[in-house]
Structures are given as C-alpha cells and as structure tokens.
Structure 1
Amino acid sequence: MKINPKRRKIAYFSMEIGLNEKMHTYSGGLGILAGDTLKSAADLEIPMVAVTLLNRYGYFKQELTHDGQQIEHPDPWPVEEFLTKEDVKVSVRIEGRSVRVTAWRYDVVGVTGYVVPVYFLDTYLEENSEYDRKLTDYLYGGDQKYRLCQEVVLGIGGVRILRALGYDEIETFHMNEGHSALLTFELIDEELRKTSSSMILESHLKAVREKCVFTTHTPVPAGHDKFPLELVRKVIGPRDELFSLPQVVYDNTLNMTYLALNMSRYINGVAKKHGEVSKLMFAGYDISSITNGVHAQTWVSEPFQELFDKYIPMWRTDNFSLRYALSIPNEEIWNAHMKCKKTLLEYVKTQTGVEMNEEVLTIGFARRATAYKRADLLLYNLERLKEISSKDGKIQVIYAGKAHPKDEGGKQLIKKIFTAIQELKSHVPMVYLPNYDMKVAKMMVSGVDIWLNTPQPPLEASGTSGMKASLNGVPNFSVLDGWWIEGCIEGITGWAIGDFSENASSEQHAKSLYEKLEKTIIPLYYQHRDQFIQMMKYAIAINGSFFNTHRMVQEYVINAYFHKES
C-alpha cells in the first residue's frame, strides 16, 4: 500500500519496538508496548508513522547453564525477510564525522487494511567507518558513548529520515521514554532555519514544545539516561547555544528524561499510580497518566481467539465487547484453557526435560530478572511452600526472564531460583524457561492457571504481562502496584498480595502470598472449579476489555495527540 506522508500527523519514536518474535528488535516491556501501540493505531486508522533502530544482532539470546548462570549470545535475524529497504539516506554528525543513516520499512497492517509504517534506522553502510556501521547493531549494548551515538541516530537521524521521506506535516512527535529526546535538537534547528536565526529564543522552544509528547515509563533512576556534558560535546559537537539552555543541560549533565520533560506540551506516566509517583520524582512538571494496555489480537491465544470469534465476533475491532465473555459457557472456557495449558507443558518438557501434570495448579512468573521485581518472593520460605503443596493441594511453577547483561543482581536472582528448583524438586515441580521472548510469553500468559507478580512498590510503573494473562482468562495474583491497583477486584479478577502499604517488607508480602495461596486460591482451584472459571471470565470481561491498547491509543488521541492548550 502506498503511504501518503502528507497525511501522517503523529510520529512515534521508541528505542525498541517489538512487532514479531522473529524480529529481534525488543528487550521486553517497553518494546512490546510500542509494538502493541502501533498495531492498535493501525486497527483504529490513526495517522501515525514510527521510528526506531535496526538492531541486526538483537538484544541477546539467553543461555542458562545447569546452575542458572546466564550466558549472552548475539541474536541475529534475517532483516531482508521482514523489512524493505528505503531509497533514502541522511547524515548526522558524530564526533565530527558525517555518519550516514538509511532506513528499512515494516508495515503494520490493521484489521481494516490500514497501514502504519515503521522505519528502522540503519548505519550499516559501506561509506561509514567500521565503528559507525555497528552503531545500530545491538539494543542497549556498549558503553555510554555507544548509547549516546545511538540516541543521536534515533532522535536527530530519525527526524531527518522522516523529512527526507516527505513527512513534512507531522504535528506531534511522541517520545516513548527519553531515548529519543535528541529529536528536540533537530526540531529546534528546524525552527532556527525557518526564522533565519542563529540565536535560540523562547519562541523557538515554545514552537518545539507544542509539537512534543513524552511518556515516562520507569520510577527507577537507572532507567533514565544521563550523559556528562564533556561526552555530549565530544559526540554531538560544540553546540554552546543549546548546551547553555537550562532546559537542556543541568549540573553539567544531559539528562534525557529532563530534556523530554522540558520540551513537551504533554507528559504522562503509564498507570494512575505511576503518574502520581512521577509527579513526586519530577516536581514542578504537569504529569498526567494513561494506563498501558496490550494488543488483544496479538496476545489472545488461538483457542481463545476461536472462542471469542464464536461468541463475540466483533472483539478484534471493539475490544470493549470482551465484556460479553461472561456469557460464554464455563465448559468451553475451561476446554480452551486446557488446550493452552497442554501446549505450554509440552513446550516445558522439550526445553527442560521436566514433565509437569496438567491437572496441577500451575503458577507462572515471567519478568525481567532484576532485584525490585522480586522473582524470589515466592521462595521466601521454602519449607512453608513445601508444606502448602503437600497438605493443601499440589502446585507447580514456571519461571522465565532475562537479566540485563550488566545487572549482576539480576543474574544472581536467576541462580538463586535454580538453587531453589533443586531443593524443591520432590515437593514443588519448578522450571526456568530460557530465552524469554514473545513466543514464550504468549504460551505462558495463556497456559498457566495463575499469573504471579511481586514487585516492590512503588517501583512497578505499569506492567503489562498480567494484562495479557487476563485476556486469556488467567487471574492475576499480584502486589498492589502499577496497573494492578486499577485492575484488582479481590476474588473477582484475581487477588492482591498485601495491601496498599509501600512500606511493607518482603517478609510481610511473602506471608500474605502464602496465606492467600493456602486458604483461598488452592481450595478454589481444586474444590470449587466453577467459581474459579467464573473468575477466569471476569478477568476477560472486566480487565481484558479495558486494559488493551485500543483503549489506550484512544486516550492518547483525545488527551495528547490532538489536544493543545487554547
């Protein structure tokens, strides 16, 4: 389909975008959310175009040794099989060099056939130096300089690519996290050229702010890119007229989050609670919230797609109609779930050699392996866990998740789980699936019976894996943080671990987890199956119908994209 660039009004920038499990251009939640956003934009025919980087070697492929040591491998993928190379090249200045950038296109096709084009920026060109050719190779790879160079390519190069392709009438530039905030530099330069000015005036900054929207995703300080001014000057060049602006540099540091905050007309967090936390983190900024969602058609498993097609034929175009899941017969819900469970347990056996019982209550936990997500909370008291499984009803557990290559704490967490797996072997069957990706995620969120999430509040910005579980009728069992504060109706859509206290210790959360598992969840699953299935239907009807990117994108359209201060 031929795209008319003049009709595109929104440009969506994200360091990572996950569109297909065979395209290794994502690391986790941020990238998957970006991909889901674009799929819903295509379904809803939103006049959008997207820009990201072409990571030829992906994030990394995870190998786990017998004792849980994570080994990272390059994860190449066949670019030409999925993307079409555009006949376009632009230049960006990096360390005084002219670095050439080209683009590859991927068309996200919506349910009506409407296309949202995604442009993957690529520096692997003959005319570039060996170092510059590799700038777009790895997602979140290399040192600070490599990351800053990537962000020059994404932000400055991204705007230039769009202009070269004819996208001259973009009204809104949406920065999905701060990685792309350097696009504001290019927009400032465009304003300077328009007014034939060499001095940056408040009118130029205002004009740029009117074009920019920023979504912040993390309350964890490590998630915000910061670069020393000395490095910035070396990479970007002597732009004192920019670097002297308080909106750009503070305390000799270029903080990409603050740059995006200062240069945006609309700022939002990704859940109501995260919006509140962000206001405290970034005092003085007007921060709204738009709660994340997931793309229903992508994450609903095949058995449930067939079920929804039968009973709710309009669900793909109108996700809110999933509320009618309450009328689907219990037996058909359970049969669809058991198909998903069998698929998952067969995959577990091929990957780990462990044969799990499909009749046993199966708990799933799959997150990025990092300290605050507390993957080990379930393992806080192994003796208690053994006792629960032997006396109250059998349980089995499936883990998955990658640790960032530089996150030693996250890597130790995986090893700790592997140690627990051995200790619990004869009491609680437990596995850790390697190389968690979109394919494994879809099997897990639909194939387990309970979705567990145990972050340390208030560090979970939103979380989306539990939303995917809800769409497949899997109730959540989670600490009250992120989206779950909005989605939890106790005993209806799932269960809370602990209460709203942000000061609760891991010991207190573990105690709540064990008590609820022992006295509420296990009895319900084994002794009151019809009530459990009713909860599955509520998970779909209440949470699945709301926590989706169709609703989320509509909120962006109303509140952010086409809404300006009068």
Structure 2
Amino acid sequence: MKAIRRFTVRTLLPAALQDLDELAHNLRWSWHAPTRDLFETIDPHLWATVKGDPVALLGALGPERLAALAADEDFVAQVRTSAQDLHHYLVDPRWYQSVASQGRSMPAAIAYFSPEFGITSVLPQYSGGLGILAGDHLKSASDLGAPIIGVGLLYGAGYFKQSLTRDGWQVETYPVLDPDGLPLRLVREADGSPAIVSVGLPSGRELHARVWMAAVGRVPLLLLDSNVPENDEAARKVTDRLYGGGGEHRLQQELLLGVGGVRAVRLWSRLTGAVEPEVYHTNEGHAGFLGVERIRELVTGSGLTFEEALEAVRAATVFTTHTPVPAGIDRFESDLVAQYFGGDNSTPGIGVDKVLGLGAENYPGGDPTMFNMAIMGLRFGGRANGVSLLHGEVSRGMFSELWPGFDETEVPIASVTNGVHAPTWVDRRLIDLAAERFTSEEVATGTGWLRTDGITDTELWAMRHTLRTQLVKNARGRLRASWRQRGASPAELGWVDDALSPDVLTIGFARRVPTYKRLTLMLSDPERLRALLTDPDKPVQMIIAGKSHPADEQGKRLIQQLVRFTDAADVRNRIVFLPNYDIAMAQALYPGCDVWLNNPLRPLEASGTSGMKSALNGGLNLSILDGWWDEWFDGENGWAIPTADGVEDADRRDTLEAAALYDLIENQVAARFYDRDERGLPVTWLEMIRHTLATLGPKVQATRMVADYVQHLYAPAAVAGRELGADTFAGARELAAWKATVRSEWPNVRVDHIESGVGEVPQVGDELHVRAYVSLGALSPSDVEVQVVHGRVTEADDLSTFGTLPLAHDEAYEGGRHAFGGDVKLAASGPFGYTVRIVPKHARLASIAELGLVANAT
C-alpha cells in the first residue's frame, strides 16, 4: 500500500549530544575522515546500512541508544573535541585571509552559480562532471577560506538512479527526496516562517521557491525548491528533476536559478548579515539570467540606464564555459524568452528587445530566432574562461564570430584548468601513509613520493594491491546486486565470487555516455579485446560505469552493446559494467584502478577530471590527448593514445584509434605492469606511479584551481566592479557613454595610408619605421590605439604568430585625420610581415576586443 504523503521525523538529541547535529549538517564530514569515524563508532553496522549518512544515522537511533551515548563521558568528550575542531576550521584565517592581509585587493564575497552540485552521494544533486566540479570548487574554496556563496536548485528527485534490464537496457527511476531527511536547513524569516523568493511567469503567474542551505564547510550553498504550497501544480514541478522536461521547463529552471538565485542571495544577506557578493561567477550558461536580474536591480534601485547597468554588471561577472561543441549549449526560441521578460514581467527601462539582444545569435551562421545562453554568458562575463588550455583554444575558435576582425588567439576567453578536491577522492589509506611518512611540504609538493627511503617500492606496491583488492570486493558486491536486479537467481551467480582478481591489471572507465566519449571504442574489435582480457600471461580486467541521459536513445544503445559483451561467460570475470555510477562508486573505483582510460573524440573533452582523481591515488592515465591530459601528459605519467585527426570517416577514425589503443595496452601497459624483478615488483611501473604522484599531484588539486580563479579572475573582477560602482556608478555611466560614442563613430574609423621603411637587406636588430595615416571621425586619438601587428608569415602572407606595438600620435589634421608613428625592432630571422589596425582604447576595458570593433588596414 502506497502512502499519500511522506515526511521525516527529526531526532531530538540530548543536550550533551547537541553538537552532533551541527557535525551532521555541515558537509565537511564528507571529506573529513575523523568526523566520519566519530559517527561510525556510534553503530558501525547501522553506519554501513545508512551508507555513511550522518543525518540518517542520527534519525535511526532510538531514545535508549541516545541516552546511553549521552551518559558516555568519553564519547561526549569526543563529540565536543570534534565540534571544536569544526569551529576552528570555520573561523580561523586560511590562505585567502593570508593573501588579503598582504595588501592584495580581494573580493569581500563571491557568488558561484551552477545548475548542479556534487558534494556527496547523500545529497544527489548532480549528474556528472559539471556538478562534481562545482562541488569540488566549493569544498576547495572552503579549505582556502575563500568567501564564496554557492547558488543552485534543489531537485525533488535529483538525477535518476540507473539499473539494467536482463538484456542490458538502461532503466531510470526517480526516488523522491525529502529535504527534511537531507543535510540541509530551511532558511527562515525572523518570525520562523520559511523564507520565499518569487519570480514572475507569463500570464500573471508567479513561481515561488523556498531556500534551503547546505553548509559545505565554510561555504553556504543556497538551493531553491519550487515544490511549495504557494505554487500551482505546474510551478511546483519546476525543480522536480535535474535536466528533466522540455524547452520551457528548462527555461523556467534557468530563470529560477539566475533571477531567483540573485534574490536568494539578497535574502540570505538580509537574514544573516552576510556580506553582499562583489563578484558573480556563472558555471556554464544555465544561470545567465542572473545578469538580467542584477541589471534590473540597478535600473530600478540606482537610476542607471540599461547600458550603464550592463557595464557595472559585466565588470564584476565571471563566466566559465564547459562545452566544446555548440550542441552542448542551451538555446531557447526568442519568442519564448520574450514571454518571460515582457508584459507583466517587464521593467521600465529594460525593453524585451534589450534582453533578447543579450543572447542573440546575430553573427554569420547564427539563428536569429534563437536565444543562446552561452552567448549571453559571454556578453555578461567581463572575464571568461575555458576549463583547460586546449579547451580555451577550442572556445576561442567556437565563439570567434562574436569578435569579428580579431584573430582567434585574441578572443577574450582565457583558461583555468580544472582540478579535483583531493580529500574527497584520495583513499584514506594513501592519505594516512603520506601524512605518516612525509613532511607537510613534501605532501603539498608531491616530492615525498620520490623518496624511496620514505616509502619503499615494496610498501607502495603493497598499497596498490590493497586498494585493488578493496575495489574488487566492492565491484563484486555491486555486480551481484545488479544481476539480482536484472532477474538472476542466486543459483546463477556463483561465478561472481571469482569475477575480477586483485592480482590482475585493472583498467577503469567511468563517465557520462554521450556519443563523443565513445564508451564502445574498446569494442571496435571484440576478438582482440577478448584476447587481451583472457591472456594467460598478461591478463587485463576492466571495470566500466556510466549513465546515459534518459532522452539519449543512442547512448542507451551503447550501454546495452557493452553490457551484452560483458555478459558473455568467457569474459564476464574480466570485464564488468556497474550501474548507477555516482560519487560513492567513484570513491571506490578511482583508488583501485591501475590505469584510467579516456578515449573521447578529440577535441571534444573540455577538461575531464576523472583521470586526475585516479592520478592522485597512484593510477596511470591512458588517454587521448584531449582536455587536461593534452596539457599535462609528459611521457612518464601514463600513455597518450594516438589520434587520427583529420580522418573524415568517423568509423575509420574509430577503427584506427581503437587499434592504437589495443597496441598500447598489449605492448606497453600490460607488458610494463607484468614486468617484475626478482622481488616480484614492477619497478618501472612503480617509477611511473612515483613520478605521477610527484608531478601531477600538485597540479590537479582544486585548491590550485580555485586559487587561480581568485587571483586571475575574481580579484580583477572585484577591482573593476568597485571602479565602475564608485560615486553612485560614475564609472559605469562614463564607460557606457564612451562606448556609445565609439560605436556610433566607428563606421568613420579607418586606416587611410601606411608609409614604412627598413634597410635594403633587413637584418636581425634593424628597425622597421612605420607611419600610419588614419581617420577617426569625431573620436580623439586617446579613444583608440593604432597598432602595428607584426610577426612571422606563411606563404599565403597570413601572420601565424604575431605581436603588437602601439604607435604614438604624431600629428592631427583637418577632418578627423591623424598620423601615428613608431619603430618595430626585427628580433628574429625568417619571413616577416606586418599590418596596421585601430582598436578602441579605454583604461576600463578588460581586453582590446571587448567591443568587438577593429579597423584593419586593407
């Protein structure tokens, strides 16, 4: 019989144990092993039953057990000590405060918006890499003391749980989550009533949302929940599922995230006294409407025009793009977006046409009927970045049409390579071993792993065997549960006891299953894969996991194809597919795998972070040179799978790259793993592990990533925002007026004539004298920079690599004509070329390409 309602009854803790409530509700426990140990000691069996969920554990304890714990003086002392440790963690100065104390101008607070956050499996509000990255961002910000406020949505069913049918087809279920049973607290008004934010919808409807707060260490994460009595039935379903529903449903989610998220931040500041954010960071374009809401605040509250408010908002906004393909970007019909910002929801001074212009694809090849969320993110983002060096390059090419006339290298999209939160993903045994043997500096730099006197090869190999054994045990349990769910009887599953082996080379592959990640590349030649798996001397075993989006039928077919292969009796003890890939599975999978496989279609992997987590556990990467691996592969930390770039036929490309993968596994990976010395140790393999831990370890940390964001994006954005906001936004008003003038006059700007001179036989060290005559219309010479663009040229006279030199103003003539001149030193031999161009110049521009205006010599 099904219940018609459900709710969670909270535990009433004795006074002596009140600190347990804070310890359970601050998600620091998810990466702080001593706190988890404390909860486990309460009841180890129950702790395992609730899957390591402190809130569920406390809720399952009876009054007698709680009374006994309250009477246990030793346990109460442990609780008090843990609470004091958490308190110090929350308030003591950390890296951020240290940097600020050195005089660096740092943001008072940063708001970080994302549609998903992967903090812990106990709070299933994530689908894949974007959410895991967002979770690691918050955790690392907390560890660094960075004053970040996270903003997202609370989904009633989170993302789906995955299971398989008997024939290997993915099945999705959506267990309903009760917020009262999660490590969350409802944000309340002073009178105790739930705090509400509201967003206008078409036809006079309103979308209301309660705000829940998850404490991620020092970072408050605000999650908006539309399943509230104040909403009609349709509005209650807006936050029903992560990435669920169609176009308008998604639009409403993103409207609530962006507009409602800003209002939630304001509400949080009002109720708690928290500092208002100076910088807003949108993780992908999903939260882009936050910029529209901030413009509305400035237009209605400070009397700015739309254009003036846009400048103030842009200056203090950071936008991170995560997709290397246009298909990965959310786009909505412009007419649909207009319904949400017109009519009853319009704001005087902010016409619908202005809002639509923010996301308009008004460039060659764009669709004028569509509103593009990434384009809006870039137009709002005074500072923008990709998530690896290669992805930054790909992004500059993908969005170059927004800056016509500029070289792709000048498109204002930088790079901050992703990282991972080591305390979350590194096995505790490895952490404890490093802490025991190395100094804190050796741990931080990774150099300790190179000390064979600190950890011998025998000890390191034993640790790897322990982690592999742990994974095999975990995988067998998951495999048995999956087969039972698929309908197999216990009598059919005796083989599971021998599935996988703690002594066999173990390759892991786990990720979402879009086509470009090529889950089934390994099946290109099934017989060759079978031979690798069953090799009598150098066997390989593979553990595979991944979810396909519920609407992605092709992805589901790929999973089914792989599962059918893994079901075969002759290989099922060497290759397994584990359903319902999540954080909990990942935390067992990464440490136990010897090799992490990644074979996307290059260059479609923006960054990828699973291989980073494996590396931190002593795993070696076997990957296509894409994302972060393209940046940090050094020939000794793993293997690069050769690619068939330029091969147009997709099937042929897959065949070629699969063959290269098989060759690597057989002739290098497996050969090296099984190459043992007289002690039975794979010495060369262990050298690669040490090298990986020492060199990749420091690089792949999310603390490095967040520090990069702080120093290169957040701090400059805060300074720019303050400059434009000072004196009742005088800077924003001036910049908007200047841009309007430049745009109106730019049709009159041109390079009229160039004179140059150099020796008859130019040599290195000579100077090229350049004098440019230009027309500026009504603009003054201070409004522009006239540049010589110079460097190496190809046979087609294209500047392949170049630098720029500003020319000095020499003379002014009638009719807005001017002369500029300067000298270019010839610093290198070889084919040399140059041209002259004019770009806008203003002290408050984040880049010369910001306006997308340039007058090139013809």
TM-score range, shorter chain: over 0.9
SS in 2 for 1:105: strand
Shift of residue 314, structure 1, vs aligned partner: 3.0
| Superimposed CA distance per residue, residues 122-146 of structure 1 (whole angstroms, 9 cap, x where no aligned partner) | 1121111122122112100011111
Quick one: structure 1 residues 544 and 503, their matched pair in 2 at CA, closer, same or farther if it must change by over 3 Å? farther
| Superimposed CA distance per residue, residues 456-498 of structure 1 (whole angstroms, 9 cap, x where no aligned partner) | 00100000000000000000000110000122122x1100100
- Given candidates 324, 330, 346, the residue that maps to 2:448 is 324
Partners of 1:55 and 1:215 lie apart in 2 by 23
Correspondence for 2:804: none
Shift of residue 236, structure 1, vs aligned partner: 4.0
Counterpart of 2:244, as a letter, is G
Correspondence for 1:44: 144
Quick one: structure 1 residues 502 and 344, their matched pair in 2 at CA, closer, same or farther if it must change by over 3 Å? farther
- The answer to whether the 8 A contact 1:101-1:122 is kept is yes
Correspondence for 1:231: 336
Shift of residue 500, structure 1, vs aligned partner: 8.3
Counterpart of 2:695, as a letter, is I
Relative contact order higher in (CA < 8 Å, ≥ 6 apart): 1
2:662 matches 1:514? yes
Quick one: structure 1 residues 43 and 33, their matched pair in 2 at CA, closer, same or farther if it must change by over 3 Å? same
- Given candidates 234, 238, 259, the residue that maps to 1:131 is 234
Correspondence for 2:59: none
Correspondence for 1:479: 624
Contiguous gaps of at least 5 residues in structure 2: 1-86, 92-105, 189-194, 362-367, 404-410, 481-495, 677-681, 721-843, 845-858
2:520 matches 1:376? yes
| Superimposed CA distance per residue, residues 154-186 of structure 1 (whole angstroms, 9 cap, x where no aligned partner) | 100010111122256311100000000000110
Correspondence for 1:530: 683
Further displaced range: 76-85 or 455-464? 76-85
- Given candidates 168, 171, 174, the residue that maps to 2:278 is 171
Counterpart of 2:520, as a letter, is D
Partners of 2:656 and 2:587 lie apart in 1 by 31
* Alignment map for 1:370-449 (pairs within 5 Å): 370-388=514-532, 389-390=534-535, 393-423=538-568, 425-426=570-571, 429-449=574-594
Further displaced range: 290-299 or 73-82? 73-82
Partners of 1:228 and 1:411 lie apart in 2 by 28
Give the ranges of 4+ consecutive aligned residues of structure 1 lying more than 4 Å apart after TM superposition: none
Correspondence for 2:353: 243
2:319 matches 1:217? no
Further displaced range: 182-191 or 538-547? 538-547
Correspondence for 2:408: none
Counterpart of 1:510, as a letter, is A
- Given candidates 480, 485, 508, the residue that maps to 1:364 is 508
- The answer to whether the 8 A contact 1:488-1:494 is kept is yes
SS in 2 for 1:126: coil
- The answer to whether the 8 A contact 2:112-2:150 is kept is yes
SS in 2 for 1:376: helix
2:415 matches 1:314? no
2:716 matches 1:563? yes
2:222 matches 1:119? yes
2:210 matches 1:99? no
- The answer to whether the 8 A contact 2:530-2:571 is kept is no
- Given candidates 598, 603, 610, the residue that maps to 1:465 is 610
* Alignment map for 1:176-215 (pairs within 5 Å): 176-196=283-303, 199-200=305-306, 202-215=307-320
Partners of 2:139 and 2:450 lie apart in 1 by 26
Correspondence for 2:476: 349
SS in 1 for 2:196: strand
Correspondence for 1:112: none
Quick one: structure 1 residues 386 and 63, their matched pair in 2 at CA, closer, same or farther if it must change by over 3 Å? closer
Partners of 2:685 and 2:425 lie apart in 1 by 22
- Given candidates 115, 118, 142, the residue that maps to 1:18 is 118
Quick one: structure 1 residues 427 and 187, their matched pair in 2 at CA, closer, same or farther if it must change by over 3 Å? closer
SS in 2 for 1:293: coil
Partners of 1:66 and 1:330 lie apart in 2 by 44
| Superimposed CA distance per residue, residues 403-431 of structure 1 (whole angstroms, 9 cap, x where no aligned partner) | 00011111011011012224473487211
Partners of 1:78 and 1:98 lie apart in 2 by 24
Further displaced range: 382-391 or 177-186? 382-391
Quick one: structure 1 residues 532 and 78, their matched pair in 2 at CA, closer, same or farther if it must change by over 3 Å? farther
- The answer to whether the 8 A contact 1:369-1:402 is kept is yes
Partners of 1:267 and 1:475 lie apart in 2 by 32
Quick one: structure 1 residues 220 and 428, their matched pair in 2 at CA, closer, same or farther if it must change by over 3 Å? farther
2:256 matches 1:153? yes
- The answer to whether the 8 A contact 2:107-2:715 is kept is no
- Given candidates 353, 372, 377, the residue that maps to 1:260 is 377
**Count of aligned pairs between the two proteins:** 554
Quick one: structure 1 residues 7 and 509, their matched pair in 2 at CA, closer, same or farther if it must change by over 3 Å? closer
Shift of residue 393, structure 1, vs aligned partner: 1.2
- The answer to whether the 8 A contact 1:497-1:512 is kept is yes
Q: TM-score, normalised by structure 2?
A: 0.62
Partners of 2:394 and 2:569 lie apart in 1 by 38
SS in 1 for 2:261: helix
Shift of residue 292, structure 1, vs aligned partner: 0.2
- The answer to whether the 8 A contact 1:382-1:424 is kept is no
Counterpart of 2:583, as a letter, is M
Q: TM-score, normalised by structure 1?
A: 0.93
SS in 2 for 1:563: helix
2:695 matches 1:542? yes
- The answer to whether the 8 A contact 2:208-2:230 is kept is yes
Contiguous gaps of at least 5 residues in structure 1: 110-114
SS in 2 for 1:415: helix
Correspondence for 1:338: 465
- The answer to whether the 8 A contact 2:107-2:278 is kept is no
Partners of 1:408 and 1:323 lie apart in 2 by 47
- The answer to whether the 8 A contact 2:150-2:220 is kept is yes
SS in 1 for 2:117: coil
Further displaced range: 161-170 or 89-98? 161-170
Shift of residue 73, structure 1, vs aligned partner: 0.2
Counterpart of 2:605, as a letter, is E
| Superimposed CA distance per residue, residues 251-292 of structure 1 (whole angstroms, 9 cap, x where no aligned partner) | 132211000100111000000000000000000241000000
Partners of 1:59 and 1:416 lie apart in 2 by 23
SS in 2 for 1:227: strand
Further displaced range: 74-83 or 356-365? 74-83
Correspondence for 1:59: 159
Shift of residue 559, structure 1, vs aligned partner: 0.8
SS in 2 for 1:121: strand
2:420 matches 1:294? yes
Further displaced range: 541-550 or 247-256? 247-256
Partners of 1:213 and 1:426 lie apart in 2 by 49
SS in 2 for 1:125: coil
Taking only the aligned residue pairs, the percentage that are identical comes to: 40
Counterpart of 2:287, as a letter, is S
Partners of 2:430 and 2:177 lie apart in 1 by 30
Correspondence for 2:637: 493
Partners of 2:571 and 2:239 lie apart in 1 by 47
Q: Tell me how large the CA RMSD over aligned residues is.
A: 2.1
Counterpart of 1:516, as a letter, is L
Shift of residue 390, structure 1, vs aligned partner: 2.2
Partners of 1:426 and 1:184 lie apart in 2 by 54
